Homo-oligomer: A and B are copies of this chain.
Amino acid sequence: MNKTLTELFVSQYSLCKLGAGDIVGVIGEFGQKEAYVAAAVEAARYVGAAPLALTASSLSNPILPPYASSNPEVPALLAGAGECDLIIDVTVGGLIHSDVRTRITGAGKRMLFVHEPADVLQRLMSDELVRERVQSAANSLQAGSRMHVTSEAGTDLQVDISGRDIPITRQWGFVDEPGRWDHWPSGFVACFPNDKTAQGRIVLNAGDVLLPWGRYVHDPVSLTIKDGYIVKIAGNGVDAFVLSDFFARWKDPEVYALSHMGWGVHPAASWSALAAYDPRTLYGQELRSVEGNFMWSTGSNRFAKRETPAHLDIPMAGCTVRIDGRVVVEAGRLLTREA
């Protein structure tokens, strides 16, 4: 039976170990996603927590230009959030890449972004298996020195991930530890390789996905990577045309940089989601989380002090991922210890 948004938040709060008397801060934008605000508030009441909605009118960011770096009401927003135990982020674009997020989690608060439609939230509700897979994958990344990605379509990419301190993003879809941020639903791992070390070629193939656009690639696009940057975009189809135009429009060389890389582990996520749903209603977490995808991204990388607008996430099918020669994903199939 389909659950309501409120019922889903009640389940999620349970994963987040939200208790009676805790304060839930719900950050939203004026006139936007009101059903999510209402559900987050109502569910908080049901579990005995105290909800406070913090609604700013100017957090929303245009899709094309870069995120606004400062909003005058942010200090008040942060002060309110600073007294909450759990922050639910239901802004339109999410505060993922913002200072607001960093400062809230830096203060030890848990923060969870929510955007997908109710049935995606329900179908991809997380559990311990997802968390374990993410942790195991993250350990591989942390211990490794070199990631090598290949595909039958022609991808052949090498990056340096050596060093115990390379930043690693672990997303399993709930937040039950202080200072933890996550996005409901999720099931993937990613690292930020050492900057400007990526070399080789990425060949996007039919069925690969461009996010946040919610588009399948239709015709091959060949991207030449040198010292961490895309230096050439080739291909005859609409995808190569649109990607070329998109990058060029920013008039900013940094948009061509590669950012994070990793792979999906969620057993319930499906490549066909963009066909089965209206892709414009999706944020794309299902595609980011497909078990055995290889996902890389462009643009901003706060660990490399690179702030640029044109952030794309690109989950690819059929890739083989090796860490120091060990295969972790084989032709799009996740190798797990479970079997």
Q: Point out residues on A near B: beta carbons under 8 Å.
A: 1-2, 4, 6-7, 21, 23, 25, 30-31, 38, 41-42, 44-46, 49-58, 60-65, 68, 71-73, 75-84, 119, 122-123, 206-207, 210, 213, 215-219, 236-238, 241-243, 245-246, 249, 270-278, 280, 317
B73, A52: Cβ atoms closer than 8 Å = yes
If A77-B80, A80-B54, A271-B242 touch, does A276 touch B64 (CB 8 Å cutoff)?
yes
B54, A53: Cβ atoms closer than 8 Å = yes
If A50-B58, A206-B238 touch, does A42 touch B4 (CB 8 Å cutoff)?
yes
- The docked-state distance in angstroms from the alpha carbon of A273 to that of B64 is 9
Nearest CB of B to A49, in Å: 8
User: Pick the contact of A83 from B30, B65, B76, B276 — CB < 8 Å?
Assistant: B76
Q: Which residues of B contact A215 (CB under 8 A)?
A: 275
- The docked-state distance in angstroms from the alpha carbon of A6 to that of B46 is 10
If A238-B206, A238-B218 touch, does A52 touch B56 (CB 8 Å cutoff)?
yes
**Closest B residue to A75 using CB positions:** B83
B76, A52: Cβ atoms closer than 8 Å = yes
- The docked-state distance in angstroms from the alpha carbon of A326 to that of B58 is 47
Q: Which residues of B contact A236 (CB under 8 A)?
A: 206
Q: What are 6 A-B contacts with C-beta separation under 8 Å?
A: A30-B38, A62-B119, A76-B84, A213-B275, A218-B219, A242-B274
Q: Which residues of B contact A84 (CB under 8 A)?
A: 76
B123, A64: Cβ atoms closer than 8 Å = yes
- The docked-state distance in angstroms from the alpha carbon of A78 to that of B217 is 46
**Closest B residue to A1 using CB positions:** B58
Extra pairs beyond A7-B45, A241-B271, A242-B271 (11, CB < 8 Å): A41-B57, A45-B58, A46-B46, A50-B58, A51-B56, A53-B55, A54-B54, A206-B241, A218-B218, A218-B219, A246-B276
CB-based closest 8 A-B pairs: A80-B80, A207-B241, A50-B72, A76-B83, A53-B55, A278-B280, A50-B73, A246-B272
- The docked-state distance in angstroms from the alpha carbon of A241 to that of B58 is 41
Q: Which residues of B contact A72 (CB under 8 A)?
A: 21, 23, 49-50
- The docked-state distance in angstroms from the alpha carbon of A84 to that of B74 is 10
- The docked-state distance in angstroms from the alpha carbon of A294 to that of B68 is 34
A80, B76: Cβ atoms closer than 8 Å = yes
If A62-B123, A210-B275 touch, does A42 touch B80 (CB 8 Å cutoff)?
no
- The docked-state distance in angstroms from the alpha carbon of A96 to that of B238 is 30
A53, B30: Cβ atoms closer than 8 Å = yes
Q: Which residues of B contact A63 (CB under 8 A)?
A: 119, 276-277
Q: Which residues of B contact A71 (CB under 8 A)?
A: 1, 50
A23, B270: Cβ atoms closer than 8 Å = no
If A71-B50, A206-B236 touch, does A76 touch B241 (CB 8 Å cutoff)?
no
Nearest CB of B to A181, in Å: 19
- The docked-state distance in angstroms from the alpha carbon of A82 to that of B75 is 10
User: Pick the contact of A4 from B45, B61, B122 — CB < 8 Å?
Assistant: B45
- The docked-state distance in angstroms from the alpha carbon of A317 to that of B213 is 21
Nearest CB of B to A316, in Å: 12
